[in-house]
Structure 1
């Protein structure tokens, strides 16, 4: 099936708006300062991105107050968020939670979608960030009757920024106010995407969907999330390569730019090819999700199998080729390396997705 890997004019305009906003209000110094506090999210920046630009409602139909766009536009936003390692709950709220609610197709879910699309609420699914498409869903939360929920789930991303939690229980999917849960912060590798253990002890939830509908909705959300995460990984790799090339043009040794040495040129050329290939894989996954292609699961697995490793590899080279300054806390390279490493575990490891590729292609697993 032919894929459209090119960016449309509308997508480029969206990119320009998001990049301009992040350049103005999400520079590396600001990100570092907020990350050190343990609560990196910037509510004012989120309001501008979500409501001002309308990015939060890209996947929400117009009849529910959204933009009625598709995964291609959401991929562009995530690409720019990756370039800035922006500490915003876009992947968790505007992609994962939104996709789950869209799969519920109930009046209660529709009401919550309207709030998400307007940017007035942040909603986060209470699922481990490492949960992969095709993996068994956790059964950690129990309903003791009437939507009274108890249980604990670890490694929940962006829970500290949430107004509403989507809780997967044994009797279905529930919306629970974040204030009704106990959040215990965990020490994350990526300080820009905080993790927490969410504990519910008799919390009251509003039923959104029955168990069968919930399982199907969560499975679809994990697939979309993994596919769009590849675009975030692409953004990380693009920034790292651009910054490294720029640095090596100005850094001199033996009265010559470091970037002019043949061995360094070869390393940069390999990285450029890696990033170009990652862009093709990420765009193919986004287009497959947007068009509802039958082979979307394969395109997503291919994208994650490739983009995950590229982001880590380019970020590692960024740190190393920057020399001493790349090893310091003041330089933002470590933020990108940590985000790349954390993303390589999010929504399925490279090994998991390679196994899926082998299954879809009916080949022996690696």
Structure 2
């Protein structure tokens, strides 16, 4: 009954989508790739990379319990408050702060230099490489059991390290994630999680910050250079390498939403297509890294990511962009060669729209899946 009701709604809404895209027929694979590349050339960064076994050092060689990695790019208005929030953390655990100036053109580096005399601070100054490549450098140069990413315009709560690391060490957890505050302009909203100690990864969000992660989880992989949405690597890849996840209800982080960031300018930002590019790159690396695609958690993550990719590009012009992503999503789904049945009604309908190549229903379901 529930499936019939949902299917009826999807079919009805799909009629309006069909009218808008009526003039577009089936698109070849080559044409689809050409459409995307003409609007957002595929980046050349790769997942396979420098975080090798030699650089991800053994426990006995690790000098710190934790390394806090802070990439900085043109954050002069926020970086001092950010760094002070990290340094003010009082904890029994030994931690280093690695600040990486990623070619800032404002006063960020001058502000960072004021912290150079603090023994627990390491500063790296480099030409602009982008957030993904900068995180890789932070991971490669640190000698710690865990890493914690902090964005330069955000704030770490004063007891965050103690709370996250206390749970991580006690449970020998691969990831410990805390609750956070989301700040957009002058409004703040608490994003609180209930406590959970299990192998269940469903409560993990896709953000790199607000959690401590075992450094070994990044062995032999990189955040691919040059991509937007490089954080997709976490949910689709890194999380598949971990077994023990702990969620704590304590608020540990304040996340400032950038109103000028890509997430808030998707309707006219063609770099939104990177969401598709990085997903395809990750899927192609599953065989290389022996990632098991039969995991229910991963299956849901993949399907949700297909929907996210489409939503991010749903209002870009020309309309052939949406058709291109749809056609290439079908191809990527077929390559998975896995049974995706019995994941729930909405997922079943979504899979059906892909298998039957029904663009109108696929369009509608990409937005409905957001609420699962």
Instruction: Using structure 1 for the length normalisation, give the TM-score.
Output: 0.32
Q: Bigger radius of gyration, 1 or 2?
A: 2
Q: 1 or 2 for the larger relative contact order (CA 8 Å, sep ≥6)?
A: 2
- In terms of fraction of residues, the more helix-rich structure is 1
